[in-house]
């Protein structure tokens, strides 16, 4: 009997990829392993979106802690996820130890791609919020995300496409 061992890695999601339905659109093999808290960091929407210039999620040093969803993904899907996330377009790949899971990969904004004045598009924040709810993050954390002010997407076609994804996520909870 021949066994094929597919290589995989652990990915730590904290933004729009939190929801398994959303992440599987980008990495079909994604399987949720669980959640954990990354202490010593805080979630911000201050990374300049490389496609639309709006605020995307980033983690920066801070006391609150950031909740993560840890997924197992096939290594062969890493390059597609890197492209979707804009690796080299303001996001850098990082590796760190997540308590209870070991080594994980994720993305963090390059300092040159951060702007504190940015706000997320309404649909983007909704994706992060729905992912937080799907992963049953604590209510204070979900409320903090919900309180983030947003902007409306001026590109009606993109907005319509993204709100369709939001509806898929709502149906996937």
Instruction: Judge whether 95 and 169 are in contact, CB under 8 Å.
Output: no
Whether residue 25 lies inside any domain: the answer is yes
Domain count, the chain: 1
What pTM was estimated for this model as a whole? 0.94
Domain CATH for 112: 3.10.490.10
- The chain-wide mean pLDDT, for the chain, equals 95
The closest of 172, 135, 120, 161 to 37, measured between CA atoms, is 135
Q: Which domain holds residue 135?
A: 8-172
Whether residue 2 lies inside any domain: the answer is no
Greater confidence (67 vs 50) lies with 67
* pLDDT tens, position by position, 60-96: 999 889 999 999 999 999 999 999 998 998 999 999 9
Whether residue 96 lies inside any domain: the answer is yes
pLDDT score at 172: 79
Whether residue 58 lies inside any domain: the answer is yes
**The pLDDT of residue 2 is above 90:** no
* pLDDT tens, position by position, 105-151: 999 999 999 999 999 999 999 999 999 999 999 999 999 999 999 99
pLDDT score at 5: 54
Whether residue 104 lies inside any domain: the answer is yes
């Amino acid at each position: 009997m021949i066994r094929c061992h597919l290589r995989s890695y652990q990915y730590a999601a904290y933004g729009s990829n939190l929801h398994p339905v959303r992440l599987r659109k980008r990495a079909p093999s994604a399987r949720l392993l669980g959640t954990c808290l990354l202490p010593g960091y805080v979630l911000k929407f201050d990374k300049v979106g490389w496609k639309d210039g709006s605020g995307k999620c980033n983690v920066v040093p801070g006391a609150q802690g950031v909740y993560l969803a840890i997924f197992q993904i096939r290594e062969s899907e890493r390059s597609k996820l890197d492209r979707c996330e804009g690796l080299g377009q303001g996001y850098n790949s990082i590796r760190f130890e997540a308590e209870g899971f070991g080594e994980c990969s994720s993305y963090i904004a390059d300092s040159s791609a951060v702007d504190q004045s940015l706000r997320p598009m309404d649909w983007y924040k909704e994706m992060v919020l729905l992912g937080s709810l799907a992963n049953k993050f604590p209510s204070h954390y979900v409320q903090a995300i919900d309180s983030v002010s947003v902007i409306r997407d001026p590109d009606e076609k993109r907005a319509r496409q993204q709100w369709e994804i939001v509806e898929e996520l709502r149906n996937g909870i």
